[in-house]
A and B are shown apart, each in its own frame.
Chain A
Amino acid sequence: MLEIKALNLEVDGRPVLKDLNLTIEAGESHVLLGPNGSGKTSLLLGILGFPKYKVTGGSIIFKGEDITHLSTAKRVKLGMGIAFQHPPVIRGIKLGEMVNLCKGDTSQQVTQETRTLAKKLHFSDEFLERDVNAGFSGGEIKRSEIMQLMAQDPDFVMLDEPDSGVDIENMELIGDMIGELLHRRIRPSKRTASGLIITHLATITDYVEVDWAHVMLNGMIACSGNPDRIISEVMKGGYEKCVRECQETMDRI
C-alpha cells in the first residue's frame, strides 16, 4: 500500500525527517509513537503532500505509484485520508456540507445519509449546522475528523492522535469507528484498508488491535516491531530506553 524510502523532509527550510523508511502493506494497521516534536505529524502531512512539507530526498510509493511529487488533491483521489490533530476553523462552511464534500457531493443540503452517519458519531442534526471546527471541543474535533474520514472512506487512513484528550465513552465510540475504517472487524485476509495511527499513550490500541508499532525519535524511525512489546516497553521505560533495547536486539540478530 505505502512504501517510504529514505525520506528527507523539510518544513520552512528546517529538516524534520531524516532518511525515514516505512512500509505498510494493504490490510495492515500501524501505530507510531514518539515524543513531542519528533516529527510524527510532519510525516503524515508529508505523506499527504502538503505544500509546506518539502521532500528533499527519498521517495513515497503509494499503490505502486511514485507520488513523491504529486499534489495533495491527487493523492487523496488515489485513496488517502487523514484525521488532523489541529484542524483549522472554516468559517461559513457547515459541518454537514463538509461531510457532503468528503463524499464528493457539493450540495449544502444535509442528506439522510449524512444525518445517519452523524448519528453514528453521536452528533445531532443541529451540530451539522455549525461552522466546521468553530468552537468544537477537543472530543468533538476528534469525532468530526473521523466522521469526515468515514464519509471519504479512504483505503489508507492516517489518524493523528485520535485518542488524545478523549473521555472513556467517546474513546469506545472512536475505537469502534476506527476499527470499521481500518477493516479490523473482518478477517485479515479480506482487509484492504490500511492505517497509520499516531498515539502518545497507545490508548487506541486497547480498542483497535494493530499489526505494527514504530517509535520515532528526532525525525527517524528508531524502532519497529510487535506492538504489544514496543508499547509496553515505551510505557515502562520511555522512548529512549525502548529504542536502546530495540537496537541491542537488532545488533544481536
Chain B
Amino acid sequence: MRKGMSGDNGPDIGKYTLKAEKHNAKDLPGIEDKYKQDFLDVGYDPQGAERSGSFLQVDHSVLCSKAMQEGVEIMSTTDALEKYSWLSDYWWHAVAPEKDIYTQQVDRKQTQGYFLRTLPGVKTTYPLQSCLFIGQEGLSQNVHNIIIAEEGSELHIITGCSVAEKVQSALHLGVSEFYVKKNAKITFTMIHNWAPEVEVRPRSGIIVEENGVFIGNYVCLDPVKDLQMYPVTYCGKNARATSQSIIYASKDSKIDIGSKMVLSGENSRAEIISRTVAADHADVTARGILSGSAPNVKAHLECIGLMLSDTARIYSVPELEATVKDAELSHEAAVGRISEEEIAYLTARGLSEEEAAGAIVRGFLNVDIKGLPPALGAQVRRMIRMSAEALE
C-alpha cells in the first residue's frame, strides 16, 4: 500500500531517460500531422482556431509558442527566465523545490515548460491552448510552468498532456505555479490522456490574490499506471477558488488525486467537486482538504464516487480544518454503485440494461463545468462525452 503524499513507492525516476531526440520547428508540420488526433483529444487544435495563443512541447522540444492577442504572452519558461529578471520572484514561490523527490528532480533536471501571462486588464477573447506531449519511449519529461494573470486580467487556458500511441512507458513530472493577481481570473482546464504504463506526478501551487478567481478543471478518462497530484490553492482576501475533477479510472490505474484549499484571506470562498468512476482493477484515492484560517471564510467539498467493479477501490478522504470561529466548511462524500431504480427507469424507456448503465455513467461524468466561457465549456463537455461514449 502506498503511504502518504511524499511519493514513497511512487515512480522510480532512475528508470527513465532524460535524453530526448531534438525536434525542430521544421518538423512541426509532420508532427502535427502525425499526432493530430492525439492533440485534438486533449483539446489542442493544431490549427489554433478560436484560440488566443498556442504552446506545444513534444518531448523536450518547444515546437510552437505563439500569442495571437495583444497583451498575451506565451513562451517557454527557459526563454521567460532570460527575458524577465523579475521572474525569479515567481520561480519556486508557489511550490517548494524540496517538497518531494519529483519537485527536486524538476528543479535539477528541468526540461522546459510554458510561461503564460496576461498583462494588466487584458482579457483573452479565446482560451490559450497548450499541449505537453511525449513521443519517445521511456522518457522523463520534467516541465516547470508559470502562469500569471496580472491585475484585472482574465486568462482562460485549456491544456492537454498526452503520449504517442506507440509509447508504452514514460514519466511526466510537472511543476505548475499560478499567480492570480488582484481582481484577475484564471480558468485552467487540464485534460490528461495517458497510457497504461505511464507514471505522472504533477505538482501545482496556486496563489489567488485579493478578489481574484481561480477555476481549475481536471479531466482524466483513460487508464494510467500511477498518477498522483494534489494542487494547493491559497485564497487571499475575497478570493474565489473552484476545483473540479472528473476521473474515469479503469484497468489497473492507480490514481491518488485531490485538492487542497487554504482559505487564509478574509471572506474567501472555495469549492472542490470531484466525480470518480472506478472500473476493472482501478484504485482511486480522492482527497480534499479545506483549511479555513481567516474570518468569514466559506468552503464546500463534494466528492462522489461510482463503483463499477468488485475488484476496484475508491478511498475517499475529505478533510476539514478550521482555526477561526466563523469559518464555514462542509463536505459531502458518497461512494455507491449505479442505482437499480435509475437503470429500471431507463429500460422502461427502451434502453437495454447495458445501454442504461452506460447512459448513467456518462451522466455521472457530465458535470456542469462552471465558470468557463460558454464555447470552451461546451467543447469540454463534448470531449468528456465523446470519451465517455468510447468507454466500454
Contact = CB atoms under 8 A, between A and B. Distances in A.
A136 to B, nearest CB: 13
A92 B363 contact: yes
B348 interface: yes
Contacts of B351: 73, 101
Interface on chain A toward B: helix, strand, loop, or mixed SS?
mixed
Interface in B351-369: 351-353, 359-360, 362-367
Interface stretch (B207-215, B308-316, B335-343): B335-343
A52 B340 CA distance: 9
B344 to A, nearest CB: 5
Contact of B364 (A51, A82, A84, A91): A91
B349 interface: yes
Contacts of A48: 348
Contact of B349 (A71, A102, A108): A102
A152 interface: yes
A101 B363 contact: no
B347 interface: yes
A152 B367 contact: no
A101 B355 CA distance: 10
A76 B363 contact: no
Contacts of A93: 359-360, 362-363, 366
B303 to A, nearest CB: 15
A71 B348 CA distance: 10
Contacts of A52: 340, 344
A152 B345 contact: no
Given A51-B340, A92-B367, A108-B385, A72 B360 contact: no
A51 B344 contact: yes
A88 B339 contact: yes
B67 interface: no
A76 B348 contact: yes
B348 A82 contact: yes
Contacts of A102: 349-350
A64 interface: no
B96 interface: no
Given A92-B365, A92-B367, A108-B385, A87 B345 contact: yes
A22 interface: no
B257 interface: no
Given A52-B340, A101-B359, A108-B385, A90 B345 contact: yes
6 contacts: A72-B344, A82-B348, A88-B339, A90-B342, A90-B345, A92-B365
